Amino acid sequence: MALTDDALAKIKDLIVTGELKPGDRLPPEAELSERLGLSRNSLREAVKALDFINVLDVRRGSGTYVTSLSAADLTDAIGFLVEVHSSGSLAQILDVRRVFEAETAYRAAQRIDAAGLAELQRLIDETDPQSIESLVDKDFEFHGTIAGYADNDYLAALLQAVSVKTSRARTWRGLTQDGAVEQTLQEHQAILDALAAGDPQRAQAAMIVHVSGVQDWAAETGGPE
């Protein structure tokens, strides 16, 4: 493992220093291993690891390339790591989600435009209060739209990844808690009103109230089994 860690560090340094840039193809394995003073096996394992987290893109028959290194490239890897955590981590993941959601709401209140506000209103209006599936789907779109106006692709990507783990809890809350659907729609409207007013602190507060509802439900019930 130490040899692989050394290989990871050396490839990372090539990217951090700009010697390898997004879109660049890595030199052939034999050449790169000799250049970095690594065994071909440790280099190969490091490339596999970096391919998994979307830092490198191994293309069969073409070579290995540095990805765009965009926030979107990181979402799948982070989402996987969050998803495989034990169910006992739900409370902490919900806590992280609250922090991210609060920040995106604060930022979005300073940047959202008429088109964004109209999209949020559409999502509220098109939510079927009789359908939990509709509620959860529109809820994800609602929060994703707000995150898109936070002007930070990495924050939006991290929030999306964390939200994957909370989907089951949000669904079960809607199914088991009386008035959860109506409350969610009212809270969405309160968030939208704060965004429309261009009031960051009010938007942040409304978002915290909203996402804390799932936290409170999970704390009281233990969350979904």
Q: Give DSSP secondary structure letters for 131-179.
A: -HHHHHHHHHHHHHHHHHTSS-HHHHHHHHHHHHHHHHHHHHHHHHSTT
**Whether residue 69 has pLDDT greater than 90:** no
Q: What pTM did the predictor assign?
A: 0.73
Instruction: Go through the domains of the chain in sequence order and give each one's CATH number.
Output: 2-66 (1.10.10.10), 72-221 (1.20.120.530)
Helix crossing, 132-148 with 180-196: angle to 10°?
Answer: 20
Confidence of residue 81 (pLDDT cuts 50, 70, 90): low
Can you read off the two tokens belonging to residue 140?
């994800």
Whole-number pLDDT of residue 119: 98
Give every CB contact of residue 191 below 8 A, 6+ residues apart in sequence: 105, 120, 146, 203, 206, 207, 210
Min mean pLDDT across 5-9, 89-93, 125-129 is at: 89-93
Mean pLDDT of the chain: 88
Identify the DSSP state of 64: E
pLDDT digits (tens, 9 = 90+) for 159-172: 988 887 787 778 87
Q: CB of 132 within 8 A of CB of 172?
A: no
pLDDT digits (tens, 9 = 90+) for 40-54: 999 999 999 898 888
